[in-house]
Amino acid sequence: MTAFHGELHTLLREVSQKVILPHYQSLTSDQVEEKSPDDLVTVADRLSEEMLAEGLARIIPGLPIVGEEAAYADPSVFDRLSRDCWIVDPIDGTNNFAHGRPPFGVLIAMASNGEAHTGWIYDPLTDRLCTAHRGKGAYINGERHMTQASDAAMPVAAISTQFMDLEKRQAVKDHIAPHYTMVDIPRCAAEQYPRLALGANDVSIFERTLPWDHAAGALWLNEAGGKVARMDGSPYRVDEHGRTGLIGAATPQLFDELATRLDRMPPSPA
């Protein structure tokens, strides 16, 4: 990994113990806000991002930080994605966290020229840390990990339709779902990406592809031997935050099968 991997793990644990877990299942109504319909933010998100930003600035002084809450408050923060930067999701799975249930996690990535090259996926409840550095493999708690597909008779699919229009949702239901064993999504990329590598899920479709949700996870799953890419097979880039549609799969073959089915799916009406 990197020379500062230990420092990063220490920071994640510190933020978890001082900010995230003390607020878990103890939030009051005035500590939860709705940024948009069904998209929540809590006092813990903001405090976690502040503490992470302070810690990351100590690890590499001067490196720009793209945090979810900072970008929501000031869209110009997105401009940093074209340079070397940190990308931070202080609490991924906020809706779960706000309702006092798992899963939720912390996502951190480092990117250069629009591509993530290092990533961390941290689960505060279990202390599970998934790490990856481009070209050097994927790890879980320091142990090298390779993806494994499920042993289900039909591949297991967790498909996020939340941000799809109604026509696309119906098309997915009619033309994609019959080929898979459909399961509920965790509403947490910090959990979904590990599920794709641990044999729990085989494929996922993500409609919204914001950098803090996918930079670390896409890199990690690719390094584990799975495949994450756009619907047309092109690589995921963190500086294409306005673009939608992403497939994650436990194996390249599973990716290709789903991508082909999506390509043949009737287009939504204009």
In the chain, the domains with their CATH numbers are: 5-144 (3.30.540.10), 156-264 (3.40.190.80)
Per residue in 96-145, pLDDT (tens digit) is 999 999 999 999 999 999 999 999 999 999 999 999 999 999 999 999 99
This prediction's pTM? 0.95
Residues 6+ apart with CB under 8 A from 189: 89, 92, 93, 107, 206, 213, 214, 217
Residue numbers in the known binding site are 68, 89, 91-92, 213
What is the spatial distance between Cα 132 and Cα 108, in angstroms, rounded to a whole number?
Answer: 11
6-43 pLDDT, tens digit each: 999 999 999 999 999 999 999 999 999 998 887 899 99
**234 DSSP 8-state letter:** P
Q: Which residues are annotated as a binding site for Mg(2+)?
A: 68, 89, 91-92, 213
CA–CA gap between residue 192 and residue 200 (Å, rounded): 9
